[in-house]
Chains A and B, each alone.
Chain A
Amino acid sequence: MRSLSSGNLWKIISISAVLSTLLLVAGFGFAVKDLLYPRGESFAGRANVPALPAGGKLSEGKNIEITAIGDSLTKGTGDASGEGYVKQVVALLKQKYPDTSVRLNNNLAVNGLKADRLQKLLESDKGYSFALKQSNIIVFTIGGNDLFQIASGTSPGKAADGLKLDKLKSGLPQGLNRLAQVVKRLHAINPNAQVVYVGLYNPFYDIPEYRGGSLQIQQWNEQAYALLHQYPNMTMVPTFDLFENAIGRYLSSDHFHPNHDGYAQIAARIVQSLE
């Protein structure tokens, strides 16, 4: 019972406690010194560049790696199930290629992202290029925010109120210019992957005074296709037709983003375009 006399117990406790205290005080000293008198120091990290996966037909490869970038459409905003088109694409590809491993590498979409910001991210963000380099399918949406924000001066969700069609028209060249930069950058990062750009649609087709916006949207889509056309690995899927007569069925309650079924249609088209 009394295996340890209280004298020895005291010695053990006190010595270990004093040592612990000294250790902790030293740690505290280091921390204070480090924080109050910080010294900058360059840290040479190992550069990690993943090998580009081979291009070519999906059915022949062993792995399908998808990276999605872009704005709220890619994020899946408006889809109550949270899947958006990206996850539905993954699911459909799994069905289509049951023998291949299909995975979503990253979905790096950010709500409200505009083309100029995306271009900067592609330019400087190592994470973006890392993820893009790993993949053999890249899907992206961009431009919607540029266009509708130029046109209304406000965030796209509230755009319907102050939308000015003439501004939409005058903003086109600027937006397309940014898109061109994005596409160029994407190609520089990963020339092997199949790149799918999802075209724009007019969410206000059912409002008579904004129906004309569809013409500008269509212009954008045409020019965008022309940009992508320069690169044989890139393509574009149209979406404008989905949201003209079936707006009530495919658009979510914010009257701007697609709902789950709307995204499903987009996903189906993307999968059809891939080989």
Chain B
Amino acid sequence: MKALDRLLPLIQNETLKIWKKKRFFVIVLVLMIIIPIFTYAQHRIDETNKKNFKDWRNELVQQISEYQNTLSSDRIPEEWKRSRRIAVQQLQYYLDHDVNPNSPDGVTFTRSFLSNAVTLFFPLLVLALASDLVSGERTSGTIKMLLTRPVRRWKILFSKLVALSFYVSLTVVVSAVLCYLISGAVFGYNGWGMPVFTGFVIHGSSVESGFAHAIPQGLYLLMEAGLIWVSAMTVALLALMVSVLVRSTAASIVAMMAAVISGTILSNMASSWQSAKFIFSVNLQLTNYLAGSPPITGMTLGFSLVILACWGITSLIVSFFVFTKQDILN
């Protein structure tokens, strides 16, 4: 309790610094620009579909038929076919149970926006917060002021970590809330209770729907946000480590961006390179497990969580070790 008492002012410092650096404003601003664009795009898609299809069921049937057509092509990579086969079976499940997976409402839009944002968009926002956390203090020279106070170095890094976690949480929640508020203005603010299916068990390319069950979309959204938070926190921990190790903020952003982007590319190629599944950025899309489509054959939520935890813990150890031992030479 006493230790916490001493830590709180430090956390307060770091939290206020991130706030005053206007990082969070930038994130909110980016969201305020991006979400209306996507809402508009979705609105256009809905309009086209409304023109072409009498009913969402017709749309779904058509979608399934188109997926089946790509399955019959010899030129499509096996990994894509696998995911299409899974998608066909899941869409079929929705159709069989007469549940619209793409119902046009604010909650559905938020759900799909968040799950699409998890591999690139959220890591990007997290990098905006985390990349200069330590390297920025080096660049401005304020690290000398910070480390010559009568405070242990680990406490300083710990307070930065807590402040970073605060903003990661706020980013995820604010994204969801803004997304709901903005898209709801167009699509309506309902859809909380709509059933969404989860619990599909994937064996190779076949879907076992014995465990599939419906949950209210609101709960699904909450679960999705929780998974996004875990993958965002892993990115945050890695970014913090890079920020400790690399002197320049630009270099730390570039290094992290390269890692994140290459991960998304690799997960498309993973059918030919299985070991790619040990790379953190291939495991970021935790929300896929909820929807029932693992990025690489044989990957499970447990596997991804263990991989992310390994990366996260390793970067924590490296960060704290280097930060407490390092000589500040300039």
Contact = CB atoms under 8 A, between A and B. Distances in A.
Q: Do A and B bind each other?
A: yes
A16 B169 CA distance: 9
B61 A24 contact: no
Contact of B212 (A25, A40, A109): A40
A18 B163 CA distance: 10
A111 B65 CA distance: 10
B182 interface: no
Given A23-B173, A127-B64, A43 B58 contact: no
A127 B56 CA distance: 11
A127 B60 contact: yes
A219 interface: no
Interface in B69-104: 69, 72-73, 92, 95-99
A32 B287 CA distance: 11
Interface in B182-217: 195, 197-199, 201, 210-215
Given A14-B15, A21-B165, A106-B58, A31 B224 contact: yes
Interface in B131-150: none
Contacts of A46: 98
A209 B228 CA distance: 64
Contact of B226 (A16, A27, A41, A105): A27
B226 A43 contact: no
A38 B57 contact: no
B177 to A, nearest CB: 10
Contacts of A125: 92
A30 B201 contact: no
Query: Most chain-A CB neighbours within 10 Å: which of B64, B92, B226?
Result: B226
A36 B211 CA distance: 11
B213 A35 contact: no
Interface in B18-73: 19, 52-55, 57-58, 60-62, 64-65, 68-69, 72-73
A21 B214 CA distance: 26
A34 B99 CA distance: 20
B317 interface: no
Given A20-B170, A24-B173, A31 B73 contact: no
Contacts of B215: 34
B167 interface: yes
A16 B305 CA distance: 26
A106 B213 contact: no
Interface string B171-187: 01100000000000000
B213 A38 contact: yes
A48 B96 CA distance: 10
B289 interface: yes
Contacts of A205: none
Contacts of B210: 40
Contacts of B219: 30
Contacts of A105: 54, 58
A36 B15 contact: no
A28 interface: yes
Contact of A36 (B55, B169, B229, B302): B302
Interface residues on A, range: 35 or more
Contacts of B214: 41, 43
B313 interface: no
A97 interface: no
Contact of A108 (B55, B61, B165, B286): B61
A24 B213 contact: no
A136 B89 CA distance: 28
A104 B131 CA distance: 53
A127 B57 contact: yes
Interface in A1-45: 6, 9-10, 13-14, 16-18, 20-21, 23-32, 34-36, 38-41, 43, 45
Nearest to A12: B19
Contacts of B226: 24-31
A28 B211 contact: no
Contacts of A32: 301, 305
Contacts of A75: 69
Contacts of A127: 57, 60-61, 64, 92, 95
B72 A111 contact: yes
Interface string A84-123: 0000000000000000000111111111100000000000
Nearest to B209: A40
A110 B72 CA distance: 8
A236 B137 CA distance: 79
27 contacts: A10-B15, A20-B173, A21-B166, A21-B169, A23-B173, A24-B229, A27-B223, A27-B224, A28-B223, A30-B219, A31-B301, A35-B199, A39-B199, A40-B210, A40-B212, A40-B213, A43-B97, A65-B54, A103-B54, A105-B58, A106-B65, A107-B65, A110-B72, A127-B95, A128-B61, A130-B61, A131-B61
Smallest CB-CB A-B distances: 3 pairs: A27-B226, A28-B226, A17-B166
Interface of B: 11-12, 15-16, 19, 52-55, 57-58, 60-62, 64-65, 68-69, 72-73, 92, 95-99, 165-167, 169-170, 172-173, 195, 197-199, 201, 210-215, 219, 222-227, 229-230, 286, 289-290, 301-302, 305
